[in-house]
Amino acid sequence: MFKRSFGTDGSKNRAGKATKPTKRPFREHARQKLAMADSPPLGSTLTSPIITLTVGKEQRLFAAHEDVLCLSPFFMAACRGKFLEAHAKRIDLPDEDPEVFSSVLEYLYKGDYYPRLLHNKRRNCWELEDSQVLQHTQNYGRGAIESTIYHSDVGGAVLKDTVIYCTAEKFGLEELKRLALRKQGLQSGIEVATILRSMRYAYDNTPDTDSKLRAHYLALIIRSRKTFKRSGTMQMEMEIGGRMFFDLFVAMCNHMDDIVDITQVP
């Protein structure tokens, strides 16, 4: 299921930061998406009917144009009557997180969500909007405000981009999945417990056929294995078990095989 794609570049043992360079096709795609950030969705004049959405257990209200929502196959089906209340133009989403849904809606209108993905021309790299401010906040021990959210279903903090990825999977938004995965790779300094909790959430909320987010977590643990090896949380999670630790075993075997192959090259 997982290819031997885990690097051996000797990355520092800081959980949560990927060092793999971004490929050019994604850069070109991201520039195009960001250029559309302040424009209406393609082909939309924002004159379609307004749909009211009630989200979460607290029934928080949102409103969106029907043609914007219909960029998602899930909402296209909803607007055709599968979930829509008769005569009310209303969709109920009791199982969704309002904060996450707000980010999804922002993406549907602008092509990105806060913190946005920005290209640093001076350093020729991609970074998150206000990343320096967030890093300063972390240094003072108040945590990564925008990187995690409390999820009641798991009883703790999980990476927001992971939840957005899983929500995008449900709504059929492949580009949003790609964006959320890219942003997650730019996060750093995340606690081991949060990473493992988020990894288990990812396994519980993605199909076996979608291995990209799962592979991200497997590569992260291998890359920061010294940190995870010392973690009591890692030990407890492994004792609980599950599919993700078999995948981790396979990934580590592949990683070791790659190292052996490299050392045996004449």
Render pLDDT for 70-85 as a digit per residue (tens, 0 to 9): 999 999 998 887 666 6
pLDDT of residue 121: 87
Q: What is the per-residue pLDDT across 195-219, written as a single tens digit (0 to 9) for each? A: 999 999 999 999 999 989 999 998 8
Tell which residue, 69, 87, 92, has the closest CA to residue 79: 69
Q: How many CB atoms lie within 10 A of CB 239?
A: 8
What's the pLDDT at 92? 93
**pLDDT band with cut points at 50, 70 and 90 for residue 224:** confident
